[in-house]
Structure 1
């Protein structure tokens, strides 16, 4: 048994960790009397990848490439391969992943189980849309192979299925041709949510990536920075990776009532200096936080929550403003506040999070004020007929999950009874 935490660092309960390193032996290793859950890089913010007191099957050792067709861009690999390794190996060969989240330090299995999205949902959808085959091993020893044209119902249950349909052992992904490591990018300051929505609408047809940072301390006419980018073959200034690591966990959260406004002002001022068009390397644009390893320690020993919602477009203006107002009244806030739109695409999985509309993601230090604030935010999201992202969640009420994920009953038919997590027990009862 050893302590394991997720990215939010809200707990570090002991787990019975079993290392998986041989895909041919997975069936014998996960056939156990006690339920377990897969755990890759632990980048889920909440409890989807935790099973306190129970078994964790650690998949990072399943990290081998199996095959790659350089003519078609079809990649087969084990589920523990990190997205970073795919991008760095195959990018120079003219291929890249169509969809990546805000960090590339996640596994293929985790990206599928959470059906991650990126800054280009309006153009490329979610990670699960580009899965062509995957192989699951169930805790009864059965193996299930599925894809869009082979047991598609199993694929729909597993994509976004939070690791609960079985252990993803290997996957086949369709990569896309890549122009190279460069992006034509533009930063545009905006004032108010109406301005943000106009920029989003204007950008979707011609810009692949679109996202905004918003200063949640700036009042009713919230200021922010709209960032958009698209691939280009034109190179820019040489870029060299500089990775720093937060060396220790401070005794208290560095994001607090005294630092919040200065931090937001600093982020805004730094972004304003980069206003306008420029050519940038893709890595720092797509994964800005990967340059500071273990940045989650900023929130101190009590950890932090991330609250990510999506609300339909017709309710987005009022609901997003109401959420920002509630945050301001609470005295809490975030300097990592991300605002973007989702396109009108059919979800890849039964429990996939994206729906057409506007999504807002914020980090909050773990304080006594948080439960009351989250209850208020939940009410706003419910009234707008929106929902929360399970991959980021650590406390969503069960009734809210059941109400806003209408395919939950259909998903239940594919559950592996030997797979269980802290989240599944909290939201599904087992």
Structure 2
């Protein structure tokens, strides 16, 4: 939908932007930051489109305070087969509003949307960084710091075992109170080619994870930096996915309810470490209890774990083990990143799927939807 890339209307007094669905989050930031506004919620890449962010109801490092992207969609234009463009909001065609947010593109084509931004004084981020020695320390830090800061996230070493299971680096941040309103326009690096085999393997992962953990401070350390490295570290390297070689990689993201999160996360990380298949990008974060308007929104009050695995035949066995742990805990997987979820797991985790199916545009379907609703 990138051809739909025009801005329609902006209001810098109220901080609202109305744009076509193919506009990227980076393009929104490029015009909003100089005016003192920022995305209310942003995922880990600014290259997502506005329509894609809505269709997958993306979330970010501040879910505990602001919920999902869908919580900040004021209204949208939805093109449906034989119905034209419908304006959808909490009061206009509300059934299509709730089913389109997180609706995976199945209710129609999002043509445009209007979103609410948040005010900022500067484009820089004040952050606090500290490494932690195990999963228990992560949950202690999260309980202490999350409610004090706008953003909270952790990187973890998913290959660590024993008393170090779940060790990692905890990061909290806030928009700085003073400084300039500049858009980060530094040149990007690029992975120029796709190697025949993955550069991510057990040896490189163990070396990277150990080095990354040790270079971060053992005591809480404050620093100030630009917004792009804080929110979008991988966006600095174009075509970074090529490091996984020609077979590529699979993503795995789950969320586990609060009541059992620490125990179940420990079990998940033990299973990953035992398999010998790790992820250099392993993100752990707590989700809040702000409900999304979307029918199939992924987050729930609990803890989310996101991982990238080089594509191997052994992943089938590992994912089956992880799925069983998530299933028994009452957790669920993220449809936006899924390539393997069973229909039974999907339908149990997202009971509102039948309401979405009833509202699905008859001219639209997807491989994912066929797989999980069959």
Normalising by structure 1, what TM-score? 0.83
- After superposition, the Cα gap between the structure-2 partners of 1:172 and 1:274, relative to the gap in structure 1 and judged at 3 Å, is farther
Q: Does 1:308 align with 2:253?
A: yes
Deviations along 1:18-39, one digit per CA (max 9) or x if unpaired, are xxxxxxxxxxxxxxxxxxxxxx
TM-superposed deviation, 1:205: 2.0
Go from structure 1 to structure 2 and tell me whether the alpha carbon gap of 1:240 and 1:162 turns closer, same or farther (over 3 Å shift).
Answer: closer
Q: After TM superposition, give the deviation of residue 258 of structure 1 in Å.
A: 2.2
Deviation, structure 1 residue 339:
0.2
Deviation, structure 1 residue 269: 3.1
**Cα distance in 1 for residues equivalent to 2:338 and 2:214:** 31
> How big is the shift at 1:202?
1.3
Query: Structure 2 CA distance, aligned partners of 1:225 and 1:306?
Result: 21
Q: CA deviation at 1:424?
A: 1.3
Provide the secondary structure at the position in 2 that maps to 1:311: strand
* Pairing of 1:50-129 with structure 2 (within 5 A): 59-129=1-71
2:147 counterpart SS class:
coil
Aligned residue in 2 for 1:51: none
CA contact (8 A) 2:121 2:179 kept: no
- The offset of 1:235, in angstroms, is 3.5
The question of whether the paired residues in 2 share the 8 Å contact of 1:347 and 1:355 is answered with: no
Shift of 1:180: 1.5
Aligned partner of 2:305 in structure 1 is: 360
* TM superposition shift of 1:266: 2.5
Partner of 1:387: 332
Q: CA deviation at 1:369?
A: 0.7
Is 1:173 aligned to residue 115 of structure 2?
yes
Residue 357 (structure 1) shift: 0.1
d(CA) in 2 for partners of 1:209, 1:256: 31
Would you say the 8 A contact 2:196–2:246 is kept in 1? yes
1:228 equivalenced with 2:172 (yes/no):
yes
* Alpha-carbon displacement from aligned partner over 1:83-136 (angstroms, at most 9, x marks no partner): 001111111111111000000001000000000001000011111110111011
**Structure 1 residues 192 and 74, CA gap change in structure 2 (3 angstroms):** same
CA contact 2:89–2:97 (8 Å) conserved in 1: yes
**SS of structure 2 residue aligned to 1:205:** helix
1:315-349 deviations in whole A, cap 9, x for unaligned? 11111111111111111111100000000111221
Query: Could you say what secondary structure the match of 1:135 adopts?
Result: strand
Q: Describe how 1:268-307 pairs up with structure 2 within 5 A.
A: 268-272=213-217, 276-307=221-252
The Cα of 1:273 is off from its aligned counterpart by 8.9
Deviates more, 1:100-109 or 1:220-229: 220-229
Which runs of 5 or more residues in structure 1 are unaligned? 1-58
Matched position secondary structure for 1:175: strand
Secondary structure, in 3 states, of the residue corresponding to 1:391? helix
Query: What is the CA–CA distance in structure 1 between the aligned matches of 2:219 and 2:176, rounded to whole Å?
Result: 19
Q: Does 1:150 align with 2:92?
A: yes
Q: Name whichever structure is richer in helix by fraction.
A: 2
Does the C-alpha gap of structure 1 residues 110 and 121 become closer, same or farther in structure 2, counting only changes over 3 Å? same
User: What CA distance in whole angstroms lies between the structure 2 residues aligned with 1:313 and 1:396?
Assistant: 22
Give the Cα–Cα distance (whole angstroms) in 2 for the partners of residues 192 and 72 of structure 1.
43
Cα contact 1:213–1:337 (8 A) shared by 2: yes
The residue that corresponds to 2:348 in the other structure is: 403
In the alignment, structure 1 residue 204 sits paired with structure 2 residue 204: no
RMSD, aligned CA? 1.6
TM-score by structure 2 length?
A: 0.96
> 2:9–2:17: 8 Å Cα contact kept in structure 1?
yes
Q: Name the structure 1 match of 2:188.
A: 243
C-alpha distance in structure 2 between counterparts of 1:269 and 1:335, whole Å: 15
* 1:345 matches 2:287: no
Per the alignment, residue 412 of structure 1 pairs with 357
Q: Structure 2: where are the runs of 5+ without partners?
A: none
Relative to structure 1, the CA distance from residue 295 to residue 77 in structure 2 (aligned partners, 3 Å threshold; closer, same or farther) is same
> Deviation of residue 164 (structure 1)?
0.2
Q: Distance in 1 between matches of 2:238 and 2:296?
A: 30
What is the CA–CA distance in structure 1 between the aligned matches of 2:142 and 2:262, rounded to whole Å?
13
Question: In structure 1, how many angstroms separate the alpha carbons of the residues matched to 2:299 and 2:336?
Answer: 12
C-alpha contact 1:185 1:278 (8 A) present in aligned 2: yes
Cα distance in 1 between the residues matched to 2:108 and 2:2: 16
Count of matched residue pairs: 370
